[in-house]
Structure 1
Amino acid sequence: MPEHVSIYQSLGVSLLILVALAWTFGLAYMLRRGRFEAAVRRAGGHTLSALPHQRQAGPHREYVELTPAEQDAFAGLVRQLGGGR
């Protein structure tokens, strides 16, 4: 080790190298794992049994009848925001 380099500098460089290597290996692992899971999904693999079954239709629509005054106020707001050209 050169005389002008302190122990803290050499430890810092070593730590940075270790962190960079760990990050690189972790990223490669995540990308490889994601590619594998996507391939399983494309091949028609089974779904997770812990997830509840998803319904095909959305929830029923709810609506409230507006009074004529509320309809006029809403139309004015839409015009004000630039929607009523």
Structure 2
Amino acid sequence: MLQTTIAAIDAEIATRKNEKLGIKFSLDLFNELVKAGKITMATFTAFGTGAFPQQLPAFDGRYYAFIDLDLDGLQFEVGVPN
């Protein structure tokens, strides 16, 4: 089941024209993806400029990942900045 969800996340990312995006996950899904090694810590910087580097959780080491407690089960949402 987790592999199906990972495939759905990858498919949603593939529909985006811009690689600058974030993904919010339910707590359960976030924890499962950490166990599976799909969410790790990665360096992000302010507006991608290299300034103010911070280690933050990332899906596939590229996309900022965070927990949304309003999501349940294996829910996720891919978003892009406005």
Report the TM-score, using the length of structure 2 for normalisation. Answer: 0.20
TM-score w.r.t. the length of structure 1 is: 0.19
* Higher strand proportion: 2
Larger radius of gyration: 1
Q: Which has the higher contact order (CA 8 A, sep 6+)?
A: 2
Task: Determine which structure has the larger helix proportion and give its number.
Answer: 1
